[in-house]
Amino acid sequence: MASKKIIRAAAAQIKPVFFSGLSTTEKVCDTIRTAREQGADIIVFPETFVPYYPYFSFIMPPVWQGKEHLRLYEESVVVPGPLTDMVGQTARECGMVVVLGVNERDHGSLYNTQLVYDTTGEIVLKRRKITPTYHERMVWGQGDGSGLRAVDTSIARIGALACWEHYNPLARYALMADHEQIHCSQFPGSLVGQIFGDQMEVTIRHHALESGCFVINATGWLDDEQVSTLTTDLKLQKSLRGGCMTAIISPEGSHLCEPLTQGEGIIYADLDMALIAKRKRMMDSVGHYARPELLSLHLNREHQHVVAVREAAVEEEKCADL
């Protein structure tokens, strides 16, 4: 991990290209290049941005979702695969850390997955949302604890959570205890209305204060034409607007630039890493302010598998008997 004192951060609030994983990935790569032209060292994209967040699951009853769910399968991302390789190559060319949300296809299941690329283009973290929220449970499987960790990159130690995982305080504590310096949060945006954006702001500012870290938050955006593509019902269209709060927060809980709540754009801020020690000197939730003899977290970070294979051990036992 590098000891860079000032890190230039970017958060992208952009709309996907509906129904095309390739076109949305190309837009991601173009956005990375744009941010690099502005001197960014790290950029965060919205939740499951590639190919797109499953907005259909919020407005359709389950019995009608089959066609749209299968279309999402067809455009989703295999990790690693051609689309993730495109992003990795762009990250390497630009020398940037990239945090990207994708719909990951793993054989017959989809997952809400967060990818962290280092400046080398290597994926240094792949994690799956541990519990899909509400309507999302009809779309994605559950992740495990293997991704509840912070990872070292060439610019800083990075942690990430998606959307309402931030309302699981133990999930947040796992990253705090792993000493994340920059927390990358991702939300879908264009849902529920401004109340969703307001709640999001409280959540990310609180995490910055409690963790003593920077938070880069990215939310997605849909324009009127995309909303009309999803539904012609005016009441349902209303539920697909608002809910955006793309923001960059300091360890002291303050906005480092004007947040973006409407339209497409990229926001930027300089992160003074000295502010982390300034905050933690007074209150380090996982250090001098912790009481592990009273309160502690038990975390299972093992990858969970549906089959426990013991063939190698059996062969070794056979050889030992000879």
Residues annotated as catalytic (active site), given as ranges: 47, 129, 163
| Euclidean distance between CA atoms 38 and 305, whole angstroms | 43
Sign of dihedral through CA atoms 46, 13, 34, 275? Answer: negative
Contact 147, 125 (CB under 8 A): yes
Contact 88, 123 (CB under 8 A): yes
- Burial of 113 from C-beta contacts in 10 A (0-12 / 13-18 / 19+): buried
Task: Tell me the C-alpha to C-alpha distance, in Å, between residue 215 and each of 4, 56, 75, 227, 271.
Answer: 17, 29, 30, 29, 10
| Euclidean distance between CA atoms 81 and 230, whole angstroms | 28
DSSP sequence for 262-277: SSSEEEEEEEETHHHH
| Euclidean distance between CA atoms 201 and 62, whole angstroms | 31
Pairing of strands 42-44, 214-219: unpaired
| Euclidean distance between CA atoms 32 and 65, whole angstroms | 33
| Euclidean distance between CA atoms 25 and 75, whole angstroms | 11
Cβ-based neighbour number of residue 111 at 10 Å? 24
Distance of CA 12 to the CA centre of its chain: 12
- Dihedral, CA of residue 162, residue 171, residue 247 and residue 32, to nearest 10: -50
Pairing of strands 123-128, 109-117: antiparallel
